[in-house]
């Protein structure tokens, strides 16, 4: 906590200059000057340059909160705010029958409109109590905001000084940011996110808009959940305009929509259940991150394990896929019994397992070739170096090359080969000749070298990675199901 005992140390850390019992700092970009007189126990603000002080008690040492206000004003001036835009202790009536209240700091914009309202608290217990009250019913800062509804930002703020360092606590929390421009023919504009970060200020692009709750009739988490539910149900499609390309939402119509307003306890129950879904989703995301790191570490260990590196031409047969007819999309060759792997199928492969999205008929087979598994697939045009393992008979396009491992005691596990080829993706893209589009050929692939440990070690790595990729798949399924689970929560209560 900042108090009289460490106030001088704070001023020294903030680069104030001592002149007897006075400590002074001038801010070059505005020539504003802050001073502290320890003999008179006064805080001297640049009122001669327009900073407005409504109550003198904020200018003395009588309360530790005054030191927080002082540090806050110092920070504003340091960031370039002008003194004439800062007002201390503006007074408002809190409500019918109330004795009123004063906010600590009001910052106005260049047009003298309220920009930022700051309520200062001492660090620690007082700040945490105030934050809990804010979450419960809006607290002081939201009560003040009702009196100056044009205010763009609200902030609950505390600062501390410990071991020579200034630290900050601040909350601007509960805003909802809506995408007002974007989308596509198949994706509606109008996605929403909840700004739930404990920072002192933030900005948002002109492709978005901010929705801020005034008062305490609605829980901001509930509002976010409901607006997201509207979006997931396709409820913003009819509000967007723009025939092609960028879509724009009619924000006035969007904000005029009526929404269900259940009692506070039901709102909170919805939030609690949605947060439980979020908790599982966050856990799943952490599991994915950890598993991916373990995969990278395991592959790195093999690459640096001292094993002999061999060129691909020494360990596998390299065959290019085939589809000789042009145009490629002639319908007379498709919709038969032979699976046909295309570049996009390899790119979309999950855990190295590829599946087909198209088939060839007998006529299509005549201009293609049926490969027998196992084959490691590598994309060589447009998308360079994406890999997968083909484990069933299929044809594939000439934009894909197949690596067919040689048999024998010195052979190579196809799944191990695919893992090693993953590490070559960036290298292959970097060396690919650039013509109409990037592409590589079999001659380039022949010379690519990979480590070849004993087959038992190859199998050990494959088994380890397979388990990790199963973990990733299970975690991803939890994430993919989260939106539907939240929708079910809302449907159950509303």
Grade residue 181 by pLDDT with cuts at 50, 70 and 90: confident
- What tens digit of pLDDT does each residue of 403-427 get? 999 986 567 999 999 999 999 999 9
Angle at Cα 481 formed by Cα 248 and Cα 225, nearest 5°?
50
Cis peptide before 91 (omega within 30 of 0): no
| Cα distances (Å, whole numbers) of residue 441 to 220, 396, 399, 400, 436 | 56, 16, 10, 10, 15
Would you kindly state where each structural domain of the chain is located, as residue ranges? 7-126+148-164, 175-260, 308-452
- The rounded mean pLDDT for the chain is 88
**Given a cut of 90, is residue 302 above it in pLDDT?**
yes
**What does the block give as tokens for 25?**
């700092």
- What tens digit of pLDDT does each residue of 322-338 get? 998 988 889 999 999 99
Residue 377 CB coordination number (10 Å): 28
Q: According to the model, what pLDDT value does residue 244 have?
A: 65
Grade residue 96 by pLDDT with cuts at 50, 70 and 90: very low
E-assigned strand segments in 321-367: 334-341, 358-360
- What tens digit of pLDDT does each residue of 444-463 get? 999 999 999 999 999 999 99
- What tens digit of pLDDT does each residue of 247-295 get? 889 998 999 999 999 998 999 999 999 999 999 999 999 999 999 999 9
Q: Is the pTM of this model over 0.85?
A: no
The long-range contacts involving 122-128, CB below 8 angstroms and separated by at least 24 positions, are 122/1, 122/2, 122/64, 122/65, 122/68, 122/158, 123/1, 123/2, 123/68, 123/158, 123/159, 123/160, 123/167, 123/169, 124/1, 124/158, 124/160, 126/65, 126/158, 127/156, 127/158, 127/169
Q: Whose CA is closest to 119, among 82, 89, 94?
A: 89
Q: What is the mean pLDDT of residues 328-356?
A: 93
Residue 142, φ and ψ in degrees, nearest 5: -75, -30
Q: According to the model, what pLDDT value does residue 198 have?
A: 57
Fold of the domain spanning 308-452: Adenine-n6-DNA-methyltransferase TaqI; Chain A, domain 2 (3.90.220)
> H/E element holding 221?
helix 220-232
Highest-pLDDT range among 129-133, 215-219, 281-285: 281-285
Grade residue 97 by pLDDT with cuts at 50, 70 and 90: very low
């Amino acid at each position: 906590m900042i108090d009289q005992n460490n106030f001088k140390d704070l001023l020294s850390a903030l680069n104030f200059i001592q002149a007897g019992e006075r400590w002074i700092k001038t801010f070059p970009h505005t020539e504003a000057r802050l001073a502290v007189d320890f003999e008179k126990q006064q805080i001297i603000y640049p009122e001669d340059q327009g900073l407005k002080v409504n109550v003198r008690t904020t200018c003395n040492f009588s309360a530790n909160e005054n030191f927080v206000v002082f540090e806050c004003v110092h920070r504003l001036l340091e960031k370039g705010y002008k003194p004439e835009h800062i007002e201390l202790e503006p007074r408002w009536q809190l409500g019918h029958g109330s004795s009123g209240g004063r906010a600590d700091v009001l910052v106005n914009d260049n047009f003298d409109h309220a920009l930022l309202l700051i309520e200062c608290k001492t660090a620690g217990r007082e700040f945490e109590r105030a934050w809990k009250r804010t979450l419960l019913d809006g607290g002081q800062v939201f009560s003040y905001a009702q009196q100056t509804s044009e205010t763009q930002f609200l902030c609950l703020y505390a600062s501390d000084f410990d071991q020579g360092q200034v630290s900050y606590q601040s909350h601007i929390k509960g805003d909802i940011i809506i995408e007002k421009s974007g989308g596509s023919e198949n994706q509606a504009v109008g996605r929403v996110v909840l700004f739930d970060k404990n920072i002192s200020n933030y900005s948002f692009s002109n492709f978005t808009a901010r929705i801020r709750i005034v008062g305490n009739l609605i829980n901001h988490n509930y509002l976010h959940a409901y607006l997201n539910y509207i979006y997931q149900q396709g409820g913003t499609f009819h509000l967007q305009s723009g025939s092609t390309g960028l879509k724009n939402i009619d924000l006035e119509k969007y904000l005029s929509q009526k929404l269900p307003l259940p009692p506070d306890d039901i709102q909170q129950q919805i939030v609690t259940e949605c947060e439980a879904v979020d908790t599982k989703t966050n856990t799943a995301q952490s599991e994915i991150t950890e598993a991916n790191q373990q995969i990278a570490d395991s592959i790195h260990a093999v690459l640096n394990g001292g094993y002999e590196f061999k060129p691909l031409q020494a360990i596998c047969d390299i065959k290019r896929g085939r589809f000789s007819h042009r145009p490629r999309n002639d319908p007379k060759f498709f919709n038969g019994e032979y699976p046909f792997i295309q570049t996009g199928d390899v790119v979309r492969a999950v855990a190295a397992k590829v599946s087909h999205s198209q088939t060839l008929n007998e006529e299509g087979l005549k201009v293609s070739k049926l490969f027998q598994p196992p084959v490691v697939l590598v994309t060589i045009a447009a998308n360079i170096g994406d890999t997968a393992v083909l484990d069933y008979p299929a044809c594939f396009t000439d934009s894909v090359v197949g690596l067919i491992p040689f048999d024998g005691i010195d052979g190579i596990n196809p799944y191990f080969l695919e893992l090693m080829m993953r590490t070559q993706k960036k290298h292959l893209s970097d060396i690919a000749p650039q013509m109409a589009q990037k592409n590589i050929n079999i001659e380039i692939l022949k010379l690519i070298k990979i480590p070849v440990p004993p087959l038992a070690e190859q199998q050990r790595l494959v088994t380890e990675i397979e388990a990790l990729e199963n973990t990733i798949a299970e975690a991803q399924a939890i994430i993919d199901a989260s939106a539907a689970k939240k929708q079910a929560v809302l449907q159950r209560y509303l």
